[in-house]
Amino acid sequence: MNVKIGVIKLTVFLIVVFIVGIPVLSVFLPLIEVLTIYPLLISLILSLLIFAYKMMKSEKSLEIILRVATAILILFWLFTQVATIITVELEYHSLVNEYSQLFKENPIDGFNSSWAVAVKYRNVFDGTYGKNETLPNRVLTSNSGFYLGFTPLFWLYLEWFDGLEKLIVVQKKGNCGEFAIAIKTLLRDVTGLKTRVVSMEGFDHAFPELYWNGSWWVFDAIFTTPKYPVKAENYAEYLKENKRNVYECLRNLKDGETGTSVLAEHGFEAVNVMIFAIIDPALGNADDKPAENADVEIFALKNWYDPLVGRGKTDEEGKYQTVLRRYGDYVIVAKSSDGRFVGVLEIDGRELSNGSEIVVRLHKYE
C-alpha cells in the first residue's frame, strides 16, 4: 500500500475512533461504579482476544491491520452495549428476586410486605442531596441524551424496555426523584401492583405511590412518610400536622407519567382555572387581541423554597388552563411570544373557585 495513502487512512481511522470513542466512553464509564460486573472490561478483553487471533492468522501489512482494527472496534462497540444491557438486567432481576423473599415470608399481608420492600431499599439507598456525586442516570440523559445517540442499542433499551428505571434501581443512589422511580419500578415488578411517581410543585420533591385495595398510598419512605404509608386522600391533613413547611409551600401535585394534577386526590382544595392572556397595546379594549403562544408563569408568594409553581403556553385563543391550590397568593406573569408585551397580575388563591377565569392584560414592555 502506498505510504501516503496508508498515512491518510490511518489518520482517518484515528479521527473516527476519537469522534465516536469519546461519546461511547461518556455513556459507559459512569456505569463502572454502580455495576458489579464490568461490561466495558469484558468487551475490551473479548475484542482484544479476537484482534490477537485475527492478527495471528493474517498478514501484517498496514492495510490489513486497519481493516482488522476497524472490525474489532465495531465489535467492541456492539459488545459493550449488549454486555451492559445484560449486566443491568441480571443485576436488576437479582434485586427483584431478593426483595420478593419479603413476600414469601409474609404472603398474606401484601401491603406491609410492600412497605418492607420500600424500607429495605431505603436502608441501602445512598442519598446524594447536597453532595457532589455523579449519578449515571443523569449523565446518560444530560445534553438531551446526546451521547446515547452513539449507542443506539443501549438507547433503545433505556427508552423502550424500562432500562433507565432499572438502572436507577441498580445504582442505589440519588435524590428523591431517583428514589421515587426506584421504588415505583421495584414494587411494580415485585408485587405486580400499580405504582406511580408523584411530583410536587412549590416544593422540590417527588415520591412513589402504591395502589392498594382501591386507593393510592404514599410510600415516601425517605422524607414525608418515613414511618408508615399514608393514604393519598389523607395526605394533606398528614402534612399539615407532620410536615408543616411542605404543607405551606406545596401548590400542586402531578402524576409523573401523565402530568395531570392529582392535588384533589390527596385531600387539598384544588380548583381548575382558565387564564386569558390579552395583548392591550393602547390601554383600551378596541385593539385587544389574544396573546397566542404566550409564555405563562405562576409564582406562589411567600414561598421561600420553590416559588415557580406553574408554567405553560397559551393556545391560539390566548387561553391557558391549569390547576391551582386554593391557598395563599399567586403572581401570574405572561409574556407574548415575541417578548414585546408583558403582563403581571397578583391574585388571592383563597378567592379562587372551580372554573375561575383570570384575565392578564399584556402591555408593551419598554
Supply the CATH number for residue 288's domain. Answer: 2.60.40.1120
Estimate the crossing angle of helix 152-160 against helix 62-105, to 10 degrees. Answer: 20
Query: Which pairs with CB-CB distance under 8 Å and at least 24 residues apart come from 133-137?
Result: 133/173, 134/30, 134/33, 135/171, 135/173, 135/174, 135/178, 136/30, 136/31, 136/33, 136/34, 136/167, 136/171, 137/164, 137/167, 137/168, 137/171, 137/174, 137/178
Q: ∠ CA(322), CA(302), CA(254), 5° rounding? A: 30
203 within domain boundaries: no
181 within domain boundaries: no
- Could you tell me the pTM of the whole model? 0.84
Given a contact cutoff of 8 angstroms between Cβ atoms, the answer to whether 190 and 207 are in contact is: no
Q: How many domains does the chain have?
A: 2
Distance of alpha carbon 26 from alpha carbon 30, whole angstroms: 7
303 within domain boundaries: yes
224 within domain boundaries: no
- Closest by CA to 128, choosing from 177, 187, 166, 181, is 177
147 and 26 within one domain: yes
143 and 290 within one domain: no
The pLDDT score that the predictor gives to residue 150 is 80
21 within domain boundaries: yes
68 within domain boundaries: yes
284 and 136 within one domain: no
Question: Which residue range is the domain that position 90 belongs to?
Answer: 1-115+129-168
The pLDDT score that the predictor gives to residue 102 is 85
249 within domain boundaries: no
C-alpha cell at 219: 410510600
Please give the chain's pLDDT, 366 residues, in tens: 455 555 565 566 556 655 656 666 666 667 777 676 566 566 666 666 666 666 666 666 666 667 767 777 788 788 888 888 988 999 999 999 999 988 777 767 889 999 999 999 999 999 988 787 778 888 888 765 677 878 889 899 999 999 999 999 999 999 999 999 999 999 999 999 999 999 999 999 999 999 999 999 999 999 999 999 999 999 999 999 999 999 999 999 999 999 999 999 999 999 999 999 999 887 655 578 999 999 999 999 988 788 999 999 999 999 999 999 999 899 999 999 999 999 999 999 999 999 999 999 999 876
